[in-house]
Amino acid sequence: MKQVIAVSTVTAVALAGCLVFQSRILGRQPGSVERPPITGLAHVGLFVSDLGKAEEFYGHVLGFEHFSLDKPTGGLMLNYYKVNDHQYIEIYPGLSGDEQDRLSHVAFETTDARKLRDYLAAKGVKVPAALKVGLDKNISFMVDDPEGRKIEFVQYMPDSIHAIRFKTLTPSTRVSTHMIHSGFIVHDRAAEDSFYKDILGFSVMWYGGFNETVVNWVDMRVPDGDDWLEYMLNVTNPSPKSRGVNNHIALGVPDIQEANKVILMRMPTLTEKPKIGRDGKWQLNLYDADLTRVELMEFKPVQTPCCSEMKTR
């Protein structure tokens, strides 16, 4: 009996050692948590001073339908302007003045929020102690990136207020059916890379600037999709207008000239015209009543991008 136990113990130890060796060969430590997919932008939250003016811009000019979520204590919490089944512009009332940042947070979709929470915790990121279903009936959680920007991760659940509206609220009036990126001011590229690149697996898609010697923008693509986050560099002491220009969202369009015609019919006071950006893509800048920029952008360059190669999958 003692011999059997001894042999079993030796076998178990050998097997455990083999598993540890295999884990190291594969680049994983025993018990490590793998990152689940991060597939794209889920939503961007924006503060506004006037819900009526927000409806005029996001509802009428951009052509999106919306639905609302109320606070548990009563009163409106936010309006969801639907870009597509998996992407929304969240509009929050209560903008108090010029010094308040209009950008509330940026959210990315994941296939497994709880596993992603565990993965980030294992990487030393401060995360909620536990996750629960939210008021919208999705599973999500918020973290701070290295510069204190609020970043949310969302897993859509089958009975959520979003999922029950899948394949609805998608009128032909929408100027775009895909939010392709969101950008915000970044002061320390290396610090942000430690989070978005090294931990989350984002990768550089393109970078460029106003000239060939300075990098002003870095496009960081999500690891498991085509959407991206744009670092807006070299911005100091921004005015409300400058902050709104940099903390922005971008909506993809197949033809900027056709989109411009639609916008002009809905907003005849539009002063900017379509132009080709430094990334070689046609774009058109629009602004809501609180100076947040919404960039319409074609999906592909029509000219060679400046400064760096634009990487495709």
Mean local confidence (pLDDT), 253-266: 98
Whether the pLDDT of residue 134 is over 90: the answer is yes
Residue 44's domain comprises 38-165
Domain membership flag for residue 127: yes
Give the per-residue pLDDT at 31. Answer: 57
- pLDDT bracket for residue 14 (50, 70, 90): very low
Q: What is the mean pLDDT of residues 245-268?
A: 98
pLDDT exceeds 80 at position 11: no
The CA distances from residue 263 to 37, 175, 187, 244, 283, in Å, are 35, 8, 34, 20, 13
Residue pair 136/161 in contact (Cβ under 8 Å)? The answer is: yes
Q: Which residue did the predictor score with more confidence, 274 or 33?
A: 274
181 phi, psi to nearest 5 deg: -160, 165
Q: Is the pLDDT of residue 16 over 60?
A: no
- The total of structural domains in the chain comes to 1
Say how far apart CA 299 and CA 39 lie, in whole Å: 18
DSSP β-ladder status, 103-110 and 150-155: parallel
Would residue 173 count as lying in a domain? Answer: no
Q: What is the pLDDT of residue 29?
A: 54
What 8-state DSSP symbol labels residue 28?
-
The answer on pLDDT for 298 being more than 50 is yes
Quick check: is 175 in a domain? no
Express each pLDDT in 240-253 by its tens digit. 999 999 999 999 99
Question: Which has the closest alpha carbon to 95: 51, 44, 149, 150?
Answer: 51
Checking if the pLDDT of 13 tops 50, the result is no
pLDDT (0 to 100) of residue 9: 42
Q: Say how far apart CA 104 and CA 149 lie, in whole Å.
A: 9
Tokens found for residue 183: 């950008």
Residue 56 lies in a domain: yes
Mean pLDDT of the chain: 92
Q: Is residue 88 part of a domain?
A: yes
* 247 falls within a domain: no
**pLDDT digits 0-9 by tens, 178-200:** 999 999 999 999 999 999 999 99
What is the value of pTM for the model shown? 0.90
Bigger pLDDT: 32 vs 106: 106
44: domain CATH number? Answer: 3.10.180.10
- C-alpha dihedral, 236 to 306 to 299 to 242, nearest 10°: 20
Would 100 be classed as within a structural domain?
yes
In a domain, 82, yes or no: yes
- Does 5 score more than 90 pLDDT? no
